[in-house]
Amino acid sequence: MTIQNIHKLFLTCTKVSIDTRNIENNSFFVAIKGDRFDANTFAKEALEKGASYVVIDNPDYYIDERTILVENSLVTLQSLAKFHRNYLKLPIIALTGSNGKTTTKELINVVLSKKYKTKATIGNLNNHIGVPLTLLSFTDQTEIGIVEMGANHQKEIEFLCEIAQPDYGYITNFGKAHLEGFGGVEGVIKGKSEMYTFLKENNKSVFVNLDDEIQNTKTSEFKRITFSQKDKDATVFIENVTANPFVKIKTMGVEINSHLIGLYNATNINAAITIGNHFDVLPNDIKTAIESYVPENNRSQLLTKGTNEIILDAYNANPSSMKVALENFIQLDKSNKVVIIGDMYELGEESLTEHKLIVDFLNKNNSFECHFVGKDFFANSIQNDNFHFYNSFEDFAKYLSLVKLEHKTLLIKGSRGMALERTLEYI
């Protein structure tokens, strides 16, 4: 069966699913082989739960005319997504980067939704499966699509751009993330810049932070829409930015008081402002949208537990995001500050060095209590009366069970695998 014919069947369904736990009536189920399971085995269950069609790539699980047998279900999902994207012909904004992708995507979505019917990547469905699912969630009612793209190795962004065919692109930054897969910082820059290559080759537009030297240089010959806190000739000039702790921005005649913590989030807000402005969202509507956005899912959340104020940023961490989070925390005008940070993953051979750099940075730049959790931080233990190192979260939990934290301002940050939000149970 051709992709065009599969697409006709897909259009008769209300949603696409790759998980029988999320099947609804009239779903379109695609059975994808995973590392630990083969979804072909769930084809019958999907139909019983209400799916109208199931795509399989193992003939042993063929049931009846509702079963679409293909050579490779994953490739079919990706090809179907590209076909659907071209069928809809709606403008698509794609974004990637080392830090801030999801927050920026959410901000862009709330801003553009003030004027348009938008659809954006849900959560962090930003890989070779998530991007196709995002594209297939767009309908003829969607006026602008926003697609987040994640990557941890070369050629991944290039592949995702070929599927999504974005009209606009934005790279949040180039940082020390997924160093193991990319092969160092230069590899990160090369990998993320695959989006720039696609946009230039297809004569598409790019949103650029002129204050980021790498972005500015790499896009000098592009069709670009720009923003800056320094260059008044930028498309959008940001007049003033402060953060104590929440980011406040003045631009285009409005003052925006966000619920986002830290100067590092100012760039994410500035990008959303610029994109909203490009699509003719009124400044006051941009202000209302950004002020209505409250972060969740352990991303720069400001919480209160008892007498303690907590900045919970435990969704993920890499050396770049860790450094800016610490810099922001250091400059906060707060007393009784405590840092709780966990290991940063996927750094390969650079891991111990990067953890040492964070320890050294804190050793030079603060005089408050710091707790380092995880084997790579533990391997970089140093003598400092304010520093405490733990080989595992379990060791840290034993300490927490013996103390009572009161009247503290805490920063909690670590990679997803560390799950440092567990700390809240002891506060």
The secondary structure of 71-126 as a DSSP string is S-HHHHHHHHHHHHHHHH---EEEEE-SS-HHHHHHHHHHHHTTTS-EEE--TT--
AA letter at 84: H
- State the alpha helices, DSSP H only, in 150-203: 156-164, 179-182, 185-192, 194-201
Between strands 369-373 and 337-342, the pairing is: parallel
Residue 175: the pLDDT is 64
Number of CB atoms found within 10 A of residue 144's CB: 23
Which residue, chain included where needed, has tokens 């007393």? 335
Residue 180: the pLDDT is 62
> In sequence order, what are the residues at sequence separation of 6 or more whose Cβ sits closer than 8 angstroms to the Cβ of residue 178?
98, 151, 152, 153, 188, 318, 346
Integer Cα distance of 126 and 107 in angstroms: 16
In 3-59, where do the E strands start and end? 15-17, 27-30, 53-56
The first and second tokens of residue 233, run together, are 């000739």
Buried b or exposed e, range 358-394, using 16+ CB within 10 angstroms:
bbebbeeebebbbbbbbebbbebeeeeeebebbeebe
Integer Cα distance of 118 and 106 in angstroms: 11
Start-end of CATH 3.40.1190.10 domains in the chain:
90-292
Cα dihedral 180, 185, 186, 190, rounded to 10, equals: 70
Coil vs helix vs strand at 367 = coil
Residue 60: the pLDDT is 94
DSSP string, 286-326: HHHHHHH----TTSSEEEEETTEEEEEE-S---HHHHHHHH
Number of CB atoms found within 10 A of residue 158's CB: 15
Residue 168: the pLDDT is 97
Between strands 223-228 and 387-390, the pairing is: unpaired
Residue 163: the pLDDT is 97
pLDDT, tens digit (0-9, with 9 covering 90-100), for 44-75? 999 999 999 999 999 999 999 999 999 999 99
Residue 34: the pLDDT is 81
DSSP 38: B
Integer Cα distance of 374 and 222 in angstroms: 43
Helix/strand number for the chain, H first, E second = 16, 19
Residue pair 110/268 in contact (Cβ under 8 Å)? The answer is: no
CA dist 345 → 20, 179, 356, 374 (Å): 31, 9, 14, 10
Integer Cα distance of 251 and 272 in angstroms: 12
E strand or H helix at 368: none
Among 355, 339, 327, residue whose Cα is nearest residue 413: 339
Positions of the chain with pLDDT lower than 70, given as ranges:
175-184, 297-298
AA letter at 395: D
CATH class entry, domain 90-292? alpha beta
Integer Cα distance of 313 and 424 in angstroms: 12
Residue pair 26/52 in contact (Cβ under 8 Å)? The answer is: yes
Start-end of CATH 3.90.190.20 domains in the chain:
301-426
Tell the CATH superfamily of the 301-426 domain.
Answer: Mur ligase, C-terminal domain (3.90.190.20)
Which residue, chain included where needed, has tokens 């402005």? 277
CATH class entry, domain 3-72? alpha beta
Start-end of CATH 3.40.1390.10 domains in the chain:
3-72
CA dist 105 → 120, 145, 418 (Å): 7, 11, 24
